[in-house]
Amino acid sequence: MSSLNRLMDRTDRLLFNYMEYNFRAIEKKWQARWVETKAYQVSNNSPKPKCYVLDMFPYPSGAGLHVGHPLGYISSDIYARYKRLKGFNVLHPMGWDAFGLPAEQYALETGQHPAVTTANNLASFRRQLDNIGFSFDWEREVRTSDPGYYKWTQWIFLQLFDSWFNRSLQKAERISTLITIFEQSGNAAHECPGDRYIRFTAEEWKQFSEVRQREILMHYRLAYLAFAEVNWCAALGTVLANDEVINGVSERGGFPVVKKKMRQWFLRITEYANRLLEGLETVSFSDAMKEMQRNWIGKSQGAEITFQIDGIENAGVTVYTTRPDTIFGVDFMVLAPEHDLVSLITTPDKKEDVEKYLDYVQSRSERERMAEVKQITGCFTGAYVLNPFNGQRIPVWISEYVLAGYGTGAIMAVPCGDQRDFNFAKHFDIHITNIIGDAFNGEEANATKDATLQNSDFLNGMNMREAMDVVIDKVEALGIGKRQINYKMRDSGFSRQRYWGEPFPIVYKDGTPYPLDEKELPLTLPHVENYKPGEEGEGPLANITDWVNVDAHTRRETNTMPGYAGSSWYFLRYADPKNTEVFADRAATDYWNQVDVYVGGTEHAVGHLLYSRMWTKALYDLGYIGFQEPYKKLINQGMIGGSSRMVYRVRGTNTYVSHGLKDQYETDELHTDVNIVDGLELDIEAFKNWRPANKDAEFILEDGKYICGVVLEKMSKGKYNTVNPDDVVEKFGADTFRMYEMFLGPVEQSKPWDTKGIEGVHRFLKKLWRLFADEQKGIIVNNDAATPEELKVLHKTIQKIDADTENFSYNTAVSQFMICVNELSSLKCNKRSVLEAVLVLLAPYAPHIAEELWHQLGNTTSILDAPYPVFDEKYTKESAFTYPIAVNGKTRTELSFPLDADNAAIEKEVLENEAVQKWIDGKPVKKIVIVKGRMINLVV
Question: Could you say which residues in the range 855-914 bind RNA, by CB under 7 A?
Answer: 882, 884, 886, 888-891, 894
State which residue, 518 or 775, has the beta carbon closest to RNA.
775
State which residue, 335 or 572, has the beta carbon closest to RNA.
335
Binding segment for RNA (CB under 7 A), chosen from 167-175, 612-620, 758-766, 902-910, is 758-766
State which residue, 152 or 732, has the beta carbon closest to RNA.
732
CB of 620 to RNA, least distance (A): 27
Which of 1, 169, 373, 477 contacts RNA by CB under 7 A? 373
Question: Could you say which residues in the range 153-182 bind RNA, by CB under 7 A?
Answer: none
Question: How do 506-509 and 554-556 pair as beta strands?
Answer: antiparallel
Binding segment for RNA (CB under 7 A), chosen from 119-127, 162-170, 241-249, 554-562, is 241-249
How many angstroms separate the CA atoms of 908 and 897, rounded?
A: 12
CB of 536 to RNA, least distance (A): 28
Question: How do 935-939 and 549-551 pair as beta strands?
Answer: unpaired
Q: Is 24 in the site for RNA (CB under 7 A)?
A: no
How many angstroms separate the CA atoms of 574 and 766, rounded?
A: 38
Which of 14, 63, 189, 929 contacts RNA by CB under 7 A? 929
Question: Could you say which residues in the range 508-537 bind RNA, by CB under 7 A?
Answer: none
Beta bridge partners of 810: none
Question: Could you say which residues in the range 539-598 bind RNA, by CB under 7 A?
Answer: none
Residue type present at position 130: D
Distances (CA, A) of 881 to 5, 253, 481, 877, 900: 55, 63, 72, 10, 10
Beta bridge partners of 712: 643
Q: Is 641 in the site for RNA (CB under 7 A)?
A: no
Quote the Cα angle for 563-565-570, to 5°: 105
Q: Is 741 in the site for RNA (CB under 7 A)?
A: no
Which of 95, 302, 733, 844 contacts RNA by CB under 7 A? 302
State which residue, 412 or 548, has the beta carbon closest to RNA.
412
Q: Which helix (H) or strand (E) holds 520?
A: none
The 597-616 site mask, x for binding RNA (CB under 7 A), equals -----x--xx----------
Binding segment for RNA (CB under 7 A), chosen from 119-127, 212-220, 316-324, 644-652, is 316-324
Distances (CA, A) of 150 to 23, 126, 143, 224, 591: 41, 21, 9, 19, 23
CB of 896 to RNA, least distance (A): 10
Binding segment for RNA (CB under 7 A), chosen from 48-56, 57-65, 457-465, 741-749, is 741-749
Q: Is 291 in the site for RNA (CB under 7 A)?
A: yes
The helix/strand/coil state of 745 is coil
Binding segment for RNA (CB under 7 A), chosen from 66-74, 398-406, 569-577, 836-844, is 398-406
CB of 928 to RNA, least distance (A): 9
CB of 156 to RNA, least distance (A): 26
The 442-461 site mask, x for binding RNA (CB under 7 A), equals --------------------
791 close to 820: Cβ distance less than 8 angstroms: no
Q: Is 675 in the site for RNA (CB under 7 A)?
A: no
How many angstroms separate the CA atoms of 522 and 884, rounded?
A: 72
Question: Could you say which residues in the range 786-815 bind RNA, by CB under 7 A?
Answer: 809, 811-812, 814-815
Q: Which of 879, 878, 876 is nearest to 799 (CA)?
A: 876
Q: Is 660 in the site for RNA (CB under 7 A)?
A: no
Cβ count near 203 (within 10 Å): 9
CB of 783 to RNA, least distance (A): 25
Which of 148, 256, 298, 534 contacts RNA by CB under 7 A? 298
733 close to 24: Cβ distance less than 8 angstroms: yes
Which of 14, 188, 211, 939 contacts RNA by CB under 7 A? 939
Q: Is 750 in the site for RNA (CB under 7 A)?
A: yes
453 close to 461: Cβ distance less than 8 angstroms: yes
Give the 3-state DSSP-derived string for 556-614, with helices as H, strands as E and coil as C: ECCCECCCHHHHCCHHHHCCCCCCCCCCCCHHHHHHHCCECEEEECHHHCCHHHHHHHH
Cβ count near 55 (within 10 Å): 25
Q: Is 248 in the site for RNA (CB under 7 A)?
A: no
96 close to 134: Cβ distance less than 8 angstroms: no
State which residue, 158 or 606, has the beta carbon closest to RNA.
606
Which of 179, 192, 280, 370 contacts RNA by CB under 7 A? 370
Q: Is 332 in the site for RNA (CB under 7 A)?
A: no
CB of 6 to RNA, least distance (A): 30
Q: Is 296 in the site for RNA (CB under 7 A)?
A: yes
Binding segment for RNA (CB under 7 A), chosen from 63-71, 188-196, 475-483, 760-768, is 760-768
Q: Name the phi and psi angles at 450, rounded to 5.
A: -110, 0
CA distance between the termini of the chain: 82
Q: Is 285 in the site for RNA (CB under 7 A)?
A: no
CB of 763 to RNA, least distance (A): 5
Applying CB under 7 A, what is the total number of residues that bind RNA?
83
In DSSP notation, 240-256 reads E-GGGEETTEETTT--B
CA 458 to chain centre: 49
890 close to 916: Cβ distance less than 8 angstroms: no
CB of 369 to RNA, least distance (A): 5
State which residue, 364 or 586, has the beta carbon closest to RNA.
364
156 close to 615: Cβ distance less than 8 angstroms: yes
Question: Could you say which residues in the range 761-780 bind RNA, by CB under 7 A?
Answer: 761, 763-764, 766-767
Which of 11, 486, 579, 862 contacts RNA by CB under 7 A? 486
Give 126's contacts (C-beta < 8 A, 6+ positions apart): none
Which of 14, 188, 246, 670 contacts RNA by CB under 7 A? 246
Q: Is 409 in the site for RNA (CB under 7 A)?
A: yes
Distances (CA, A) of 450 to 297, 427, 446, 465: 26, 27, 10, 7
Which of 295, 365, 460, 549 contacts RNA by CB under 7 A? 295
Binding segment for RNA (CB under 7 A), chosen from 6-14, 83-91, 276-284, 289-297, is 289-297
Which of 418, 491, 596, 673 contacts RNA by CB under 7 A? 418
Give 865's contacts (C-beta < 8 A, 6+ positions apart): 84, 85
Which of 194, 752, 844, 869 contacts RNA by CB under 7 A? 752
What share of residues in the chain are helix, strand, coil (percent, to 5)? 40, 20, 35
CB of 283 to RNA, least distance (A): 16
Which of 223, 267, 411, 734 contacts RNA by CB under 7 A? 411
Which of 633, 751, 796, 855 contacts RNA by CB under 7 A? 751
CB of 567 to RNA, least distance (A): 18
How many angstroms separate the CA atoms of 936 and 815, rounded?
A: 29
55 close to 600: Cβ distance less than 8 angstroms: yes
Q: Name the phi and psi angles at 500, rounded to 5.
A: -85, 70
How many angstroms separate the CA atoms of 394 and 412, rounded?
A: 9
CB of 758 to RNA, least distance (A): 8
State which residue, 154 or 293, has the beta carbon closest to RNA.
293
Q: Which of 588, 699, 613, 578 is nearest to 293 (CA)?
A: 613
CB of 322 to RNA, least distance (A): 4
Distances (CA, A) of 665 to 335, 653, 670, 688, 693: 62, 11, 15, 21, 21
